[in-house]
Structure 1
Amino acid sequence: MQRKRVTLDEVARIAGVSRATVSLVVRKSPLVADHTREKVEQVMADLDYVRDIGAARLRNNSSRTVGVIVPNLVNSFFTEFLAGVERVMGEDDRVVLLANSQDDPRRQEEILQRFRGHGVDGVILCPAAGTDPDLPARMRRWGLPVVQSLREIGRDATDYAGADYIEGVRLAVQHLVGLGRRRIAFLSVSARTSAREERLAGFARALAETGATDAGIVEADLTWEGAAHSAAEVLALRSRPEAVLCFNDVLAAGLMLGLRRAGLEPGRDMGVVGLDDLPLAELTYPPLTSVAMDPAGIGVAAARLLARRLADAGAPVERSILAPRLVVRESSGSDAG
């Protein structure tokens, strides 16, 4: 037999407070005194109270859910990004639905239609490579608020949260040149996205500013083994590089594995720098010099932009760009330890 749902009135009666006070506690309002909040929360725990989200949805015409679409789950960047999103949305009493587009626009479309069917209040989207440029306009016609993050289709078409990739690449190239490594190659993913374009634009600009030599661009699949196999192409470049700047830490870690298989020592025979500074950067051998992009911070920024958009649909488009930070370790050839 199904147990009857505990109500706010029952919690209020046992806690000795008003129903309105219990409602404020449930909604995490700062208007409730700490001792009262603690007492009410203890009663809710004792009674196993669960908020009736369905009823709240009917009252407010809101599902209290938002969708997040990322292009892959190979890169732990997106795990940290999601943690930032959930931190903000949890404070707003919303549930986050995560979906992986696998960088496929058709799969992305299917996910969006499922999100619409579930009545999500808004979406944080990292667009799949090859996404139709008309998608932001279509989502506006659907009445579905969207914030793009990390990648974007059409500059200023929607709110956007990301990092300054151009500055991040500049920091990396300046560091390598400062170590005397002037022939620099770039290891990129193959997916044509705004993130790739910005990194390559930053690479060209940084080479021009420092006078370093472009040793070539190599593309690799975003997998550990794909990145490892790219080492052969890097070593076959006509102007053998003294260092390689990688699109992200996943490619950098794989490249270093490939270099060691070829009998070279990353950091000694060839400098390697990543972009992201994920936790794995400290676990690679040697530890990876990388440019910190703060994925959790970007997630927080994207969620705040979406919360703002949900509160005011007519607000002007806003961009939140986080500044990068170089984290020096041994892989670039520096004496970091």
Structure 2
Amino acid sequence: MQQKRVTLEEIAQAAGVSRATVSLVVRKSPLVAGHTRERVEQIMAQMDYVRDIGAARLRNRSSQTIGVIVPNLVNSFFTEFLSGVEEVMARDDRVVLLANSHDDPRRQDEILQRFRGHGVDGVILCPAVGTGPELPGRIAGWGMPLVQALREVGPPTDFAGADYITAVGLAMRHLVEQGHRRVAFLSVSARTSAREERLTGYARALAETGVEDAGIVEADLTWEGAAQSAAQILALHTRPDAVLCFNDVLAAGLMAGLRRAGCEPGRDLAVVGLDDLPLAELTYPPLTSVAMDAPGIGRKAARLLARRLADDAAPPERDIVVPRLVVRDSSPQKV
């Protein structure tokens, strides 16, 4: 038998305060004194109070949910990104629904339709590979606020991301300062705006530094795909003395593959990643990487969506994280 919900009136009576005060505590209002808030929250915990979100939805004509679609969960960047989104949305008492498109535009469309069915208030989307430029217009036609993150397609929408052109430049200048003169780039094979921005940064950095381009190798975004790319890197016509990687997942996989091939990362070949995920400190050797602040990008995307929900006529905005180089042992001074 379903247990009867505890009401605000019952909490108020037990705590010796008004129903309005309890309501303010539930909505995390700063208008409640600290000692009163603690007392009410203690009573709520003792009585196992759960807020009736359904009633709040009816009052606000809002589902109090937003959807987030990411292309994969192999890369922990997206879990870090999600933590930033949830941090911001929790302040508005919104629930975040996460879905993985597996970089498949058809699956992405199915998810979007399910989100429509659930009546989400808006969507944060990292477009799947092959997403057509018409998708943002379709979503706008549904009356569903959209923020694109990390990748983008179509006409301008609200967007949160990182400056990968600057990031690649930081990595390349670091390698030059360490004495490296022949650099290869390990890229994902998937054609996205994020890939193109990194390659643009790579070409620009080569021109600015005079470093020799040892070649571009592509790999699947998997640990084994990155490990297998080591053989291609080592077989390049111009033998690189350093490799700049699309992200930390590829960098970590590459270092494992290099070691299998008898090449010691850091000593025989410098390796630099992009993103600076927690795993960068756990690789051997610890990975030099350019920090992109995944949670920060998530927070920026969430704030843009909250702004869009408050004013659907506002002009599109872009909010870009400034990258930061984090030097570790995988890119020592060349002897």
Using the size of structure 1 for normalisation, the TM-score is 0.97
CA offsets, 1:248-287, max 9 Å, x none?
Answer: 0000011111111111111111110000111111111111
The secondary structure found in structure 2 opposite 1:304 is: helix
Matched, 1:12 2:18: no
CA gap of 1:107–1:209, structure 2 versus 1, over 3 A, is same
Tell me what 1:291 maps to. 290
Tell me what 2:157 maps to. 158
User: Which stretch shifts more, 287-296 or 39-48?
Assistant: 39-48
Matched, 1:94 2:88: no
Q: How far off is 1:334 after superposition?
A: 3.8
CA contact (8 A) 1:189 1:247 kept: yes
CA offsets, 1:155-201, max 9 Å, x none?
Answer: 6x210001110000000000111111111110000110000000000
**In 2, Cα distance between the equivalents of 1:122 and 1:228?**
38
Tell me what 2:186 maps to. 187
Tell me what 1:250 maps to. 249
CA offsets, 1:1-35, max 9 Å, x none?
Answer: 32211111111121121111111111111111111
The secondary structure found in structure 2 opposite 1:267 is: coil
User: Which stretch shifts more, 326-335 or 121-130?
Assistant: 326-335
Q: Which amino acid aligns with 1:83?
A: S
Q: Which amino acid aligns with 1:200?
A: L
The secondary structure found in structure 1 opposite 2:271 is: strand
Q: How far off is 1:129 after superposition?
A: 0.7
For 1:154-303, what aligned pairs fall within 5 Å after superposition? 154=154, 157-303=156-302
Q: How far off is 1:78 after superposition?
A: 0.7
Tell me what 2:29 maps to. 29
For 1:11-160, what aligned pairs fall within 5 Å after superposition? 11-154=11-154, 157-160=156-159
Q: Which amino acid aligns with 1:179?
A: Q
When the two chains are superposed, the root-mean-square deviation of aligned CA atoms in Å is: 1.0
CA offsets, 1:103-127, max 9 Å, x none?
Answer: 0000000000001101110111000
Q: How far off is 1:147 after superposition?
A: 0.5
CA contact (8 A) 1:270 1:333 kept: no
**In 2, Cα distance between the equivalents of 1:184 and 1:130?**
29
Q: Which amino acid aligns with 1:328?
A: V
User: Which stretch shifts more, 49-58 or 13-22?
Assistant: 13-22
Task: State the identity as a percent.
Answer: 79
CA contact (8 A) 2:132 2:154 kept: no
Q: How far off is 1:47 after superposition?
A: 1.0
CA contact (8 A) 1:84 1:300 kept: yes
Q: Which amino acid aligns with 1:142?
A: W
Q: Which runs of 5+ in 1 are unaligned?
A: none
CA contact (8 A) 1:328 1:334 kept: no
**In 2, Cα distance between the equivalents of 1:284 and 1:35?**
47
The secondary structure found in structure 1 opposite 2:30 is: coil
CA offsets, 1:47-94, max 9 Å, x none?
Answer: 111000011111111010111100000011111101101100111111
Q: Which amino acid aligns with 2:137?
A: A
The secondary structure found in structure 2 opposite 1:144 is: coil
The secondary structure found in structure 2 opposite 1:331 is: coil
**In 2, Cα distance between the equivalents of 1:82 and 1:187?**
26
**In 2, Cα distance between the equivalents of 1:262 and 1:64?**
52
Q: Which runs of 5+ in 2 are unaligned?
A: none
Q: How far off is 1:145 after superposition?
A: 0.4
**In 2, Cα distance between the equivalents of 1:43 and 1:37?**
10
